[in-house]
Chain A
């Protein structure tokens, strides 16, 4: 499970964010991005010493100032579902590399990579026709790439 997948899954959930300076922000996660920049709604900010509190309707927090986030436990169940469905698609991408090595030159793995890309750019049809083992990878190749 990737931290950012968990965070993305936590969208809409309440969470606590502690910044590097010690301030904490409790609010509902609206959105986040690959830099961990986050947008919270209905936020309560707590000062570092825990003595002062502010309420603000929303705030944007820059990812690199975050120390950690606390997310509700139930989020982890949801994220696993997502990683599973993603895992279903990913292995073919891995298999593609292996399959190629077998089909072509076993002794020159690195060259194999370069060729493989050529094959890929020419189209899935070519690789699909080549062999049964490759065709499995070829079929979902597009999906795997698009994801990554």
Chain B
């Protein structure tokens, strides 16, 4: 009925841009968003999975795995964010500002 307006975030602006996707179960993938639908199924090109430490699956390591062209199933997608402007911070940003 409401067509594509369903999503809170319009993924159109990420098309052909790098996105980072976290999947249920803990896998983390980046790639170029080539397509999507209202169920949040995603098409990623040149996808790279960030492998996790086998001893501590919470931590991602620097090891990667090339996945190529993939479809991420929408129900498994937890989080989508652009890779542009995403950086790891060296320090805890919540301690510095005023202690508020």
Contacts and interface: CB of A to CB of B under 8 A. Distances in A.
A54 B7 CA distance: 24
Q: How large is the interface on B (under 10, 10 to 19, 20 to 34, 35 or more residues)?
A: 20 to 34
Contacts of B84: 57
A62 interface: yes
Interface in B65-86: 77-82, 84-86
A110 interface: no
A32, A38, A54: most-surrounded residue (chain B CB, <10 A): A54
A54 B8 contact: no
Contacts of A21: 26, 78
Contacts of B92: 50, 53
A43 B81 CA distance: 10
Interface residues of A, number: 30
A30 B8 CA distance: 9
B54 interface: no
A58 B81 CA distance: 6
A44 B89 contact: yes
A26 B89 CA distance: 14
B78 A19 contact: yes
A129 to B, nearest CB: 34
B89 A62 contact: no
A55 B9 contact: no
A60 B87 contact: no
Contacts of A59: 79-81
B81 A62 contact: no
B89 A55 contact: yes
Interface of A: 19, 21-22, 26, 30-33, 37-39, 43-44, 46-50, 52-62, 65
Which 8 pairs of residues, A with B, have the shortest CB-CB distance? A59-B81, A53-B89, A60-B9, A56-B86, A39-B9, A65-B78, A57-B85, A60-B80
